[in-house]
Structure 1
Amino acid sequence: MSRTPARLISLAVAAAAALTAVPAATATGATPSAVGGTAATAGAATATASDPFYAYDGDRPLASFAPGAVLKTRTLSYHLVGIPTPLKAIQLLYRTTDAQGRPAANVTTVVRSLTGDGGKAVSYQSFYDSLDPEDGPSRAIAGDLTLGGVIPNAEALFMAPLLAKGYTLVIPDTQGQRADFAAGPEYATNTLDSIRAASGSAATGMNDRTRVGLIGYSGGAIASSWAAALAPSYAPDVNSRLVGFAEGGLLVAPAHNLRYVDGSLVWSGVIPMALIGVSRSYDIDLKQYMNDYGRSVYDRLQDGSIIDALGRFPGLTWKKMAKPAYANPNSVPEFVDAVNRVNLGQAPTPTVPGFIAQGNGGVLEGTFGNPAGIGTGDAVMVAGDVRALARQYCATGNDSIAYREYALLSHTGVPVVWAPLAMDWLDDRFEGRPAPSDCGRIPAGNSLAPERPAPLS
């Protein structure tokens, strides 16, 4: 979701007013517990680039902890645009798993609502979309203000109503401590283990019976959708407590998205961002296939956020970045392997109800492409892919899928309509009302088959 910096700051200021109007959660004390490391002190401390809270420094190997184990805990003031509010946030360093199955440490933030009893929680996945770990929600909440970090500040506008309704909020750093942008499977493990950690910490008021809903837009939808898909196999203990997932602006088959935004006016900058993030996640080197210009763009965005990419590279294409022999991205074996790994259409079907929304008015944001077999979208996400995924879920055993497509709305326009509907939809799931279904009424979409290698040009 794109905003100009000034717009983001104004949204964050409005979010500050919304959050401070919510009753502050009770502080959890000044000596929270830690596993395998020194407990972090509570209070109004802020994170810094060298903040030791983010590093696991215990004596036991990280691999010896179960995924979701809490490694450190601290309580601090919830900050908006660097300013502390009366609201308290509990932050947890926890053990998780990266995209290659290796143990990793990550951070999540829990905000309690005084109007709730801890029996219901919403895991809110942010659309911070950055290749810089300093832009993560936990650091923004702890007081580190970066331009990219203003996005999770502004998202408090979405979170304040949930707190007011009595939900405990769980806000994971979905992209992990390396900021592996667009690497969906890693988003999932970070999200699911965040819920495990929050449920296993006495400081949060949650436990292994707390029911949980997933919600996220754009980058947050990547995390929500992959978490719902992988929960039955990776975290069946969490899946048994999920009431559903609500998402909008969804990335399904990234190879399609890269072709769709190729040459666009605003969103073409996500091409190098996605290449960097997925390459980082799977430890592959795509720079070897790029020309001098491509490498310069790649290097420029190594630590960039979505704010650094949007509108900064109008007309950018893969071909402009690649060496002549690799003008077709499918001639790069590592590219084909990577995009197939993060193709949501190849992931399992979630077993819980879902509400999926997608725009299809991308021309409003300068994306005029209509590639054969891919079609149009909201300027960055492909509508035909999202329809195909929703239909696939219906056809493979999940008939509790609600789908909305907004033909005249672009990526930044859909949240205005989607957010209140998504929250109402989650309310109904927590109340136990039957989940609505649009199965049988969703228009046909694209093929979500894996990409195939192509010969060199």
Structure 2
Amino acid sequence: MTVIEDVIGRVDAISGVRDTIGAARPLLPSRDPFLVPPADLGRYAPGAILRTRAVRIGLFGLVPQQVSAWQLLYRSTDMNGDAEAAITTVLLPADADPEVERPLLAFESAIDATAEQCAPSYALRLGAVAPGSITQLEWMLVAGALRRGWAISIADHEGPHGNFGAPREPGYRSLDGIRAAVGFAPLDLHARTPVAVWGYSGGGMAGSWLVEMAPSYAPELDIVGAVLGAPVGDPGQVFTDLNGGRFAGFPPIMIAALRRLYPALDELLDAELDAEGRHLLDVAARSAPMLALPRLTGRDVGDYLDRPLAEILAEPHMRAMFDDLRLGGHVPNCPILLIQPVNDQVINVRAIDEQVARYRRGGANVTYLRDRLSEHFSLLPLATPLTLDWLADRIAGRPLPEPGTRTIWSVLTDSSSWRGLLEMTRTATRVALGRPLRGASGPPSTPTRTLAA
């Protein structure tokens, strides 16, 4: 069979799947009884599994993926310390060998939305309708970790209400998702399973909260390293930078989420926001990020307020809120590789410089790589080979590189990056065609069980 015939055959198969998906379309989170917590939720320990189900994963909801996937509902904690139910999607390669020791990758998706269709537990499933979801785009890259034989946990780190930008709780939900994954027998993990963390942009922000909260909230987990890309650093600064510009869609999405968490913000908006501004927040709350950005470009939140925006942002309760959102107030105890475009048009490099400085003042081990030629949207795919290799080294226990800051022309200057991009392209092709992810990559790049014991 030729490659063209193979593609045609798979397109026909996908068309057949599309015709039958309607009856099996996953329920939106607000309508899904699986997500309803038990009445006695508070008696469960954080990370305790409440219920599980097997699910099917689909690229953009259409192309069935040949992976083993489950969803775990578990007990977690919100930013105020109250018990809540959270969900993670856990994955293995379809042909995973139970006799091989494997790490767990906690992938933090750039959900960047309050809209429920953008929750990873929905957007990743076969039959999901989530146009504009970033999670669906990231799947092409995350599959590279599965191809290495790793287990993966992708938590809905924004929680059941889409709390984009909230402090602390993305870390709690992700850490409890790791606890649940380690306790889920089909993944064949154990208490000393090495855990790697990876997130970019909004996912990098969530990954930052994960490593910041881990020492106090989940000290028993063996987190061996984290790669954080463009992790926001200071949401207040980023809000001011983006407001009124090309990427002005992000500020109202975050405001729509945060007003539910900060009563002072909610009262201010009720008092100061005009009717058009309320409509703007409603659009932002209902939209996937890739659809909200073109629709809200150039919008200035100050245009919809009765007082100047600078005056409002200077009020004590607003300064206190943005101080609460700022990363770097807690010190991670795992090695960190932080990657940032120097000319990032979304997350200004100075916000990340300052996050790194706060980590280092606390004694964290941070390797900081600043890329001159990449911009916000290109660095994630270009840095994926470097990311997976760096995490593989931490999983294998190889010596850490000397921490420090390097400003380079591009992550592609290393020849291994080109080889990695070729492998990433092969993986993406297999994902697009719905083919098995293992088989062309050799054995997983992880220690054997006896070495990890």
Please confirm whether the aligned pair reaches a TM-score higher than 0.5, indicating the same fold.
yes
Work out which of the residue numbers 66, 77, 82 in structure 2 matches 1:97: 77
The letter of the residue matching 2:249 is G
1:277 deviation in Å? 1.8
Does 2:388 correspond to 1:423?
Answer: yes
1:331 deviation in Å? 3.6
1:183 deviation in Å? 1.3
Equivalent position of 1:33 in the other structure: none
1:442 deviation in Å? 7.9
Does 2:130 correspond to 1:147?
Answer: yes
Q: Is the 8 A contact 2:370 2:407 kept in 1?
A: no
Does 2:242 correspond to 1:261?
Answer: yes
1:144 deviation in Å? 4.6
1:330 deviation in Å? 2.0
CA distance in 2, matches of 1:131, 1:431: 37
1:118 deviation in Å? 5.0
Cα gap change, 1:190 to 1:330, in 2 (>3 Å): same
Q: Is the 8 A contact 1:135 1:146 kept in 2?
A: no
Equivalent position of 1:112 in the other structure: 92
CA distance in 2, matches of 1:203, 1:216: 25
Once the two structures are superposed, the pairs formed by residues 125-274 of structure 1 within 5 Å of their partners are 125-148=108-131, 150-238=133-221, 241-265=222-246, 267-274=247-254
Q: Is the 8 A contact 1:45 1:77 kept in 2?
A: no
Q: Is the 8 A contact 2:133 2:288 kept in 1?
A: no
CA distance in 1, matches of 2:318, 2:359: 26
Equivalent position of 1:357 in the other structure: 339
CA distance in 1, matches of 2:120, 2:279: 28
1:340 deviation in Å? 1.4
Cα gap change, 1:304 to 1:158, in 2 (>3 Å): same
Work out which of the residue numbers 405, 416, 429 in structure 1 matches 2:370: 405
CA distance in 2, matches of 1:440, 1:251: 18
Cα gap change, 1:263 to 1:408, in 2 (>3 Å): farther
Over the matched positions of the two proteins, sequence identity in percent amounts to: 30
Equivalent position of 1:23 in the other structure: none
1:325 deviation in Å? 5.3
- Structure 1 gap segments, 5+ residues each: 1-12, 21-43, 362-377, 444-457
CA distance in 2, matches of 1:204, 1:294: 47
The letter of the residue matching 1:434 is P
After superposition, give the CA deviation of every residue in 1:221-240 in whole Å (9 maximum; x if it has no partner).
011111001100111112xx
After superposition, give the CA deviation of every residue in 1:5-51 in whole Å (9 maximum; x if it has no partner).
xxxxxxxx9xx99xx9xxxxxxxxxxxxxxxxxxxxxxx96520222
Equivalent position of 1:319 in the other structure: 302
CA distance in 2, matches of 1:217, 1:122: 14
Cα gap change, 1:329 to 1:250, in 2 (>3 Å): farther
Cα gap change, 1:118 to 1:441, in 2 (>3 Å): closer
Cα gap change, 1:322 to 1:407, in 2 (>3 Å): farther
The letter of the residue matching 1:352 is C
Q: Is the 8 A contact 1:125 1:171 kept in 2?
A: yes
Cα gap change, 1:273 to 1:437, in 2 (>3 Å): farther
RMSD of Structure 2 on Structure 1 (CA): 2.5
Equivalent position of 1:453 in the other structure: none
Q: Is the 8 A contact 1:93 1:108 kept in 2?
A: yes
| Greater RCO, 1 or 2 (C-alpha within 8 Å, sep 6+) | 2
Does 2:60 correspond to 1:81?
Answer: yes
1:404 deviation in Å? 1.2
| TM-score (norm: length of structure 2) | 0.78
Which deviates further from its counterpart, 103-112 or 47-56?
47-56
CA distance in 1, matches of 2:405, 2:137: 37
Equivalent position of 1:71 in the other structure: 50
Cα gap change, 1:409 to 1:303, in 2 (>3 Å): same
CA distance in 2, matches of 1:249, 1:325: 30
Equivalent position of 2:436 in the other structure: none
Paired residue secondary structure (2:168): helix
Equivalent position of 1:387 in the other structure: 353
After superposition, give the CA deviation of every residue in 1:123-147 in whole Å (9 maximum; x if it has no partner).
1111121111222111123335233
Q: How many residues are paired up?
A: 381
| TM-score (norm: length of structure 1) | 0.78
Equivalent position of 2:411 in the other structure: none
Which deviates further from its counterpart, 108-117 or 182-191?
108-117
1:327 deviation in Å? 4.3
